[in-house]
Amino acid sequence: MIDYFLKDNWKIIEKGFDPRMNRASESVFSIGNGRMGQRANFEESYTGDSLQGSYLAGVYFPDKTRVGWWKNGYPEYFAKVINSVNWIGIRIVINGKELDINDCKIYDFYRELDMKSGLLRRECTMKLKSGEKVKIKSTRFCSMHRKDIGAVQYRIEALNFSGEISLIPYLDFDVINEDSNYEEKFWQETDKDSNSEFPYVEAKTKKLDFRVRATMHYEISKMGERLQLSVLPSERKKFIAQQSNISVKEGEVVQINKYAAIVSNFNYPDEDFKALSEDLLKKAKSAGFEKLMEEHVSVWHGMWDKHDIQIDGDVAAQQGIRFNIFHLHQTYTGEDPRLNIGPKGFTGEKYGGSTYWDTEAYCLPFYLCSADPEVARNLVKYRYNHLQKAIENAEKLGFSKGAALYPMVTMNGEECHNEWEITFEEIHRNTAIAYAIFDYVRYTDDVEYLPKYGLEVLIAISRFWSQRITFSEHKKQYVMLGVTGPNEYENNINNNWYTNYGALWCFRYTQEIIDLVKKDFPEHYKDICKKTKFTEQEIERWQDIQSNMYMPFDESKNVFLQQEGFLDKEMIPTSELPKEQRPINQHWSWDRILRSVYIKQADTLQGFYFFEHEFTKEELERHFDFYEPYTVHESSLSPCVHVIQAATINRPQKAYELYLRTSRLDLDDYNNEVAEGLHITSMAGTWMSVVKGFGGMRVEDGKLIFNPLLPDHWDSCKFNVFFRSANIEIYFDKQKVVVKNLKGNAVSISVYGESTEVAEKQQLEVDYLKHR
């Protein structure tokens, strides 16, 4: 854990430059707009340690799998959202010497991410070894209004010299992915032109034929006056640049406004690239940098007006939640149903930018409450669109009759994860996909989704569980062998409670939806049965399994066990772990981790989070008290679940402690890995920590329920949720809870059990102290 970035309600601030923190800062200060994203690499040359990163949504590469021992069923590739064109680059040459931040003396370094406006700003003074001092200021954004445009404004002031400054804006497709399995570069040049008003580089991926064209335009001024300069074009493989030389006197300021249009055949026909790119840049040039920035900022302000969470009295907590919401919105806007949310978003290479079960378990609630209804529907339908691929994935592993195993990692529905304990064993992901359907329909009341899309997915998932579960003659019960639960510090275990329980829940929920569709949508039901060759005889086995499934339980402790044999481990709580050995995944051998009791992330408690409506608060409290002391929270997805549960059982201090961990996971680098990129999907879990944890929000039988718990460190909290066409605002402090229906239909609302229907412009006020 570090304390490096300054705390501010709306900004992330770095004062002073520490090269050891550069990769971490590149991650934290990343920007994006849902279509493209950029790590906070410097515009100027920097020969120090850096992870260059520019990413385009939907553009990926199937990197050939690399494993030591190939096993049948392995995917042949690992899909990666690959590093794309470096469009921000501007080389600076001063009196013939390259301005390299790594080779200069740095003064007054200041960098800020203005989250309210979506702007990355930086300024500092640099002294070259030859003695020249310059002051630079830069502002950068990926336009939220014009999604194919990125813009940079860069100012440089000659502080102690007169002479020549050369500005060399460039576009570079000759980039690498550090995580390439075979040190392969993924781009091939198809065209370029450096000697035109709109210089460009065009490239395609070596596989899948994704094509991208990056085109730039720029304007240079001195002391506010536009300059007309001759340019010196230059080219090399996958690279173009134009050089302009400007004479300066001491104290003069030179400015370049650089615009880049980046288009791909994921969004446009490639035969339109030239006309489209030039049109985009002509319009950007006509608007000018200030107008482009104004448009962009207006979009961000509009989003914050709808989706902000306000915490008074605790700057660290306020900064943390806004940082998380900011990155969620700039990673996924929901406009394109083909896209999903990668665990690192546009901030790094790890996890390949692919879709995981994180979307269904953690991200969906955020978008249900914070976006247009179509966005959440697209996220759920994403899995329906990939159903046939999920069936093929199951077939590759030997399953049949329309059983579906959704991939652990995917870009297009195919499995592309190549670790056996994950690919073959972490099958609980199927439950998350089924649960998302339940969660979506419960929140939206979009029952028509079920006959159109949902039931087919549920049948295919239940078929998988029916085949994956076997009968033990020894136990005379059904069992599930050789799995990995959410706690990835256990592999190849038998009867993981969460996996078993999730399978049984899937059977029950599928049966419930079969009955509903059969009754209310009979023609759809007939069509589904015909399409899937489903017969109700299949339900008989599902019911038999439900009535006789082995669920590991210890009577002396009165808790469900994470898996068989869990109590055979040395039960040493995390409080006894030396700090210098944390995180254990960076200090212990994998063998030692697997033999230990330590839990990477909520496992049994994940089940109590998903299915809390099927357990009592006393049962939750008992299991929380048993498992929390052994949980190391070394998955980003872990703390948020524990926050929600700690708040539910009225443990405000524990909830607050874990809230800081989830909300500031990357800002304070709890797990010593932010240099690799941010934890985007867990950021939705941070939002859940506030709304479902401290806000106590639930939905039951069409009613919106709140049971707020205000941490001692906070003076008040306020947030909005969109619920069935109504915009609901909840505010709570140490005296009262106020729920307002700002706009929309009347909504049935309960606060601490006091229920009423709240019409538009009306509110419900409840005494906080009376209940807390």
- What residues are labeled active site? 488
| Residue 574 three-state SS | helix
16, β-bridge pairs: none
Can you tell me the distance from the alpha carbon of 738 to that of 736, in angstroms, rounded to the nearest whole number? Answer: 6
Residue where the block lists tokens 């996890």: 351
Q: For strand 747-751 and strand 703-706, is the pairing parallel, antiparallel, or unpaired?
A: parallel
Q: Are 506 and 405 in contact (CB under 8 A)?
A: no
Q: Are 698 and 317 in contact (CB under 8 A)?
A: no
Burial of 642 (0-12, 13-18, 19+ CB in 10 A): buried
Q: Are 169 and 218 in contact (CB under 8 A)?
A: yes
> What is the maximal distance between C-alpha atoms in the chain?
89
Can you tell me the distance from the alpha carbon of 164 to that of 247, in angstroms, rounded to the nearest whole number? Answer: 5
Nearest to 407, CA basis, from 358, 475, 334, 367: 358
Under DSSP, the state recorded for 65 is: P
At 555, the amino acid letter reads E
Cα 718 to the chain's mean position, in Å?
A: 23
> How does 43-56 read in b/e, with b if 16+ C-beta sit within 10 Å?
bbbbeeebbbbbbb
Nearest to 501, CA basis, from 464, 551, 547: 551
Can you tell me the distance from the alpha carbon of 235 to that of 431, in angstroms, rounded to the nearest whole number? Answer: 52
Helix (H) or strand (E) run with residue 137 in it: strand 133-142
- φ, ψ of residue 216 to 5 degrees: the values are -130, 160
Cα 9 to the chain's mean position, in Å?
A: 22
100, β-bridge pairs: 45
Residue where the block lists tokens 């569980």: 465
- φ, ψ of residue 81 to 5 degrees: the values are -75, 110
Can you tell me the distance from the alpha carbon of 423 to that of 445, in angstroms, rounded to the nearest whole number? Answer: 34
Q: What percentage of the chain's residues is helix, strand, coil (to nearest 5)?
A: 35, 25, 35
Can you tell me the distance from the alpha carbon of 440 to that of 431, in angstroms, rounded to the nearest whole number? Answer: 14
* Angle, in degrees to the nearest 10, between helices 315-331 and 680-688: 130
Can you tell me the distance from the alpha carbon of 25 to that of 40, in angstroms, rounded to the nearest whole number? Answer: 7
Outline where DSSP puts E strands in 173-290.
Answer: 187-193, 200-205, 211-222, 225-226, 232-236, 239-248, 253-264
Q: Tell me whether the omega of the peptide bond preceding residue 583 falls within 30 degrees of 0, making it cis.
A: yes
> What is the phi-psi region of residue 752: left when phi exceeds 0, alpha when psi lies from -120 to 50, beta otherwise?
left
Residue where the block lists tokens 């002479």: 163
Under DSSP, the state recorded for 691 is: I
